[in-house]
Amino acid sequence: MASLKRLLVGSPIRTARLAHERLSKKTALAIFASDALSSTAYATEQILLVLAAAYLAGGANAFARVVPISIAISLLLVIVAISYRQTIFAYPSGGGAFIVAKDNLGTLAGLIAGASLLVDYILTVSVSIAAGVEAITSAMVGTRFAGLHEHRIWLCLFFIAFITVANLRGVREAGALFAAPSYAFIFSFLCLIGYGLIRYYLNPGLTVPVNDADLKIAEGYHPEPLHLFLLLGAFANGCAALTGIEAISNGIQAFKQPESKNAATTLSWMALLLITMFLGASVLAYFFKVHPREHETVISQIARVVFNGHLTWFYYVVQATTPAILVLAANTSFAGFPRLASLLARDRFLPRQLANLGDRLVFSNGIIILAVLSGVLVWAFSGDTSRLIPLYAVGVFLSFTLSQAGMVVHWWREGKALRVMRSAAADSAPITRTESSAAPPTRLSGSFEVRRLSAQTPQSLAEVSRLERTSHWRKSLVINGIGAIATCVVLIVFVATKFIHGAWVVVVLIPLLVLMFLKIHRHYVEVAHQLSTEGLGQLRPIHHQVIVPISGIHRGVITALEYAKSIAPHHVTAVYVNLDDEVTRKLREKWQQWGSGVNLVVVASPYRSLARPLLNYVDRMKRSAPNEVITIVLPEFVPAKWWQNLLHNQNTLFLKGALLFKKGVVVTNVPYHLEH
């Protein structure tokens, strides 16, 4: 097993190398932006799937609404991206929704954001992998591999396993592995859009062949006229395009220095690419009059018609790079989920094992948990993107909203701190520390030094004025305020339109997760309290009683007796369970020679159990000497070969398990190593 692990994951990496595991902007774009960019592979289709309800109800022109809806989503995207740029500078050490909400809105808000993001990460993996596999099976339509569609769950699980192993190897190697296909996708998708527009310009009558026998409609929708609620549903579905936009702000620490600047630049590039590709795909879908189909994705249909005839090979390039980036999108979560889980674990809201760096300097436990949960989800939803979409985006927009609202409070506090500084400077009186304690204690580093300064000596008026000029806190507050309101509205729209289609699962799950966080936290606090050395004096002396359970007289038992006598020379009792009177009589005789004066107690066992009479004896001794520590010295064979364990009773193991729960009882194993 150990060597298999090494082969897959690689050799351990020294802690000292931690600082070097950073990403360049180009690699970071491949890793962090792949989630957002890859959603262009399915976002347009998700809009069309809802519009199909109106089309089937006779709205011949229904699919044309994809363009205004996409423009609305793009505007929302611009707002969110600008909002997150501010967060990146205000929280250079990593400003995920969890941290921002916790710092500014309190722990509960932080936990809600954390729960939303964890759910979102799991869904990102499931949705992306499912969509990637759909791109592959779409390319197989009309070939002799068309049956691959039936095996999509296995393909999904294979890809999840593949990403898991890549991530267990460590973040930098994962980046190198993924950068090339990411850029290949961006390039081929831009080519698709560019060449598609040219072809449409040259031949405006070009459309995708329509066969409505195969028309697909969004999960849970039925033919109905095109009213506002349906449009909002289509808009909500399309908002899947925004998922993943926060990944960069969560992982600023993975960037090369200067982290914030590099991260912000990467975010802008990502937003630009995303809007271009998403809008481009929606416009082409409109131009070519694409209908969503059961066995082929919208992008595949567009690519087929654009590259039909003379550039057919490029169709396959598009279809090959699409699953590639979707797999990378899943990979985004493999960077984000373990990081967030480790933050929660460090604050003692999740098991502490999640806070440990594995031997390849990655949070191995988080990676494995994510892989298992997303695999289960893919399996439960048969790897069908359109069935997973209603669960998606609740978590995303909830965390967006909390994060932006947190930033509003952040800027408000900054403005307040400046006012206090100005009045202090005017009075030349010292700033009281009470005032500054309103700011959270650890995360002081904003886009500039207001917080740090406000907690120190009073500043000169000139200094305060300089800070006020460079602060722009009012502008920032307005920007994040708009972001918060916009994302909150979308969240409400999403829950309202998708609740019965699956969003309720997430609405129920998030509070449950928060409750779990709180329960875990309470346990750790309680343990820390119980283990505290507060009020303890010096080490106290211990009074021993030693019990040696014996199964006969042999070298293993004699070694154990020797050990027991060395601990408490005059307080050793050997205990034997009588299963056969004759055997017991012989043992008593032999004891004269080998017992070395140790007291031998024989206990009865009417039900042939070995453990029960021993445990009862321990209880009796415990009652008669409540203040003494009882040590059970267990003789234990250690066979030379593993299979030999099968040939020996596992009584020792069972006894150890049962004794663990008795207070004041210490278990000592004296092994006797067998040879051959």
Interaction with a copy of itself in 340-359: which residues (CB under 8 A)?
351-353, 356-357, 359
203 binds a copy of itself (CB under 8 A): no
Cβ-based nearer residue to a copy of itself, 191 or 357: 357
> With CB under 8 A as the contact rule, which of the stretches 51-59, 136-144, 447-455, 638-646 interacts with a copy of itself?
638-646
Among 24, 445, 573, 669, binds a copy of itself (CB under 8 A): 669
Considering only 16, 202, 213, 500, the residue that binds a copy of itself (CB under 8 A) is 16
Q: For a copy of itself, which residue of 209, 211, 607, 626 counts as binding (CB under 8 A)? A: 607
Window contacting a copy of itself (CB under 8 A); options: 51-59, 137-145, 260-268, 644-652: 644-652
Instruction: State the pairing for strand pair 572-578/544-550.
Output: parallel
CB of 551 to a copy of itself, least distance (A): 10
Residue 518 as a binder of a copy of itself (CB under 8 A): the answer is: no
Q: Contacts by 71-76 with C-beta closer than 8 Å and gap 24+?
A: 71/279, 72/235, 73/43, 73/235, 73/238, 73/239, 73/241, 73/242, 73/278, 74/275, 74/278, 74/279, 76/239, 76/242, 76/486, 76/487, 76/490
Binding of residue 302 to a copy of itself (CB under 8 A): no
Torsion (CA) 428, 430, 434, 439 in degrees, nearest 10: 70
What does residue 670 show for φ and ψ, rounded to 5 degrees? -105, 105
Nearer CB in complex with a copy of itself: 544/622: 544
Q: Scanning the structure block, which residue is given the tokens 């099976």? A: 137
482: its two tokens: 């708009």
Q: Closest separation between CB of residue 533 and a copy of itself, Å?
A: 6
What minimum distance in Å lies between the beta carbon of 561 and a copy of itself?
6
Provide, rounded to whole angstroms, the least separation between the CB of residue 134 and a copy of itself.
Answer: 34
Beta-bridge mates of residue 665: 630
The least distance separating a copy of itself from the CB of residue 441, rounded to whole angstroms, comes to 17
Q: Which of 272, 644, 654, 657 binds a copy of itself (CB under 8 A)?
A: 644
Question: Among residues 89, 278, 563, 576, which is the contact residue for a copy of itself, using CB under 8 A?
Answer: 563
* 209 versus 441: smaller Cβ distance to a copy of itself: 441
- We find the least distance from the C-beta atom of residue 454 to a copy of itself, in angstroms, to be 26
Q: Cβ 227 to a copy of itself, closest distance in Å? A: 49
Nearer to a copy of itself, 26 or 352 (CB): 352
Q: Alpha carbon of 72 to those of 67, 437, 458, 487, 552: distances in Å?
A: 9, 42, 47, 13, 83
- Coil, strand or helix: which one is 577? strand
Q: Which of 520, 615, 625, 658 binds a copy of itself (CB under 8 A)?
A: 520
For residues 123 and 370, is the Cβ–Cβ distance under 8 A?
no
Q: 286's torsion region: left (phi>0), alpha (psi -120 to 50) or beta? A: alpha
Q: Which two tokens stand for residue 27?
A: 């690699």
What token pair was written down for 52? Answer: 């199909």
Interacting stretch for a copy of itself, rule CB under 8 A, among 47-55, 157-165, 227-235, 601-609? 601-609
Is residue 389 a contact partner of residue 240, using CB atoms and an 8 Å limit? Answer: yes
Q: H helices within 347-363, ranges in order? A: none
In the shown chain, the binding pattern of residues 232 to 261 toward a copy of itself, with x for contact by CB under 8 A and - for none, equals ------------------------------
- Pick 405 or 665: Cβ nearer a copy of itself: 665
Please identify, among the stretches 224-232, 236-244, 463-471, 643-651, the one whose residues bind a copy of itself according to the rule CB under 8 A: 643-651
How far does Cα 650 stand from its chain's mean position? 39
Alpha-carbon span 274 to 276, nearest angstrom:
5
Using CA atoms, how far apart are residues 667 and 670, in angstroms rounded to an integer? Answer: 10
> What DSSP string runs through 437-453?
TTS-SS----SSSHHHH
> Quick check: 608 binds a copy of itself (CB under 8 A)?
yes
Q: Candidates 87-95, 389-397, 438-446, 628-636: pick the segment binding a copy of itself (CB under 8 A).
A: 628-636
Number of residues near a copy of itself (by CB under 8 A): 72
DSSP state of 500: G
Name the one residue in this structure whose structure tokens are 């206090």.
420
Q: Give the side-chain half-sphere CA count within 13 A for 354.
A: 22
- In the complex, the smallest distance separating the C-beta of residue 608 from a copy of itself, rounded to whole angstroms, is 5
Indicate the residue among 214 and 580 with the shorter CB distance to a copy of itself.
Answer: 580
Q: Smaller CB distance to a copy of itself: residue 203 or 538?
A: 538
Smaller CB separation from a copy of itself, 112 or 561: 561
Minimum CB separation from a copy of itself for residue 647, in Å? 5
Per CB under 8 A, does 1 bind a copy of itself?
no
Q: Which of 37, 591, 641, 552 is nearest to 330 (CA)?
A: 37
- Report the residue from 57, 493, 509, 567 that binds a copy of itself according to the rule CB under 8 A: 567
Per-residue tokens: 607: 């039900």
**How many angstroms separate the CA atoms of 64 and 282, rounded?**
9
Name all contacts of 364-368 with Cβ < 8 Å and 24+ positions apart.
364/168, 364/338, 365/338, 365/341, 366/337, 366/338, 366/339, 366/341, 366/342, 367/164, 367/167, 367/168, 367/334, 367/337, 367/338, 368/164, 368/168
Return the residue of 148, 184, 602, 670 that touches a copy of itself, per CB under 8 A.
670
Q: Measured from the CB atom, is 47 or 630 closer to a copy of itself?
A: 630
Minimum distance, C-beta of residue 335 to a copy of itself, in the bound complex (Å): 20
For a copy of itself, the closer CB: 143 or 592: 592
Residue pair 74/486 in contact by the 8 Å Cβ criterion: no
Between 180 and 542, CB nearer to a copy of itself: 542
The single residue among 156, 283, 298, 665 that binds a copy of itself, judged by CB under 8 A, is: 665
Block residue for tokens 């460079």: 470
Q: Between residue 523 and residue 562, which ones bind a copy of itself under the rule CB under 8 A? A: 523-524, 526-527, 530-533, 536, 538-542, 544, 553-556, 558, 561-562
Per rule CB under 8 A, is residue 584 in the interface with a copy of itself?
A: no
Token reading at 80? 């969110």
Q: From 318-326, 412-420, 450-458, 658-666, give the range in contact with a copy of itself by CB under 8 A.
A: 658-666
Q: In this chain, which stretch among 175-183, 263-271, 318-326, 516-524 interacts with a copy of itself, using CB under 8 A?
A: 516-524
Angstrom distance (rounded) from CA 478 to CA 22: 33
Considering only residues 357 through 396, tell me which ones interact with a copy of itself, judged by CB under 8 A.
Answer: 357, 359
Residue type, 209: P
The minimum distance between CB 158 and a copy of itself, in angstroms, equals 27
CB of 526 to a copy of itself, least distance (A): 6
Instruction: Answer yes or no: are the C-beta atoms of 100 and 301 closer than 8 Å.
Output: no
Q: CA 667 to CA 583: how far, in whole Å?
A: 27
Minimum distance from residue 378 beta carbon to a copy of itself (Å): 25
CB of 112 to a copy of itself, least distance (A): 21
Q: Shortest Cβ distance from residue 201 to a copy of itself (Å)?
A: 59
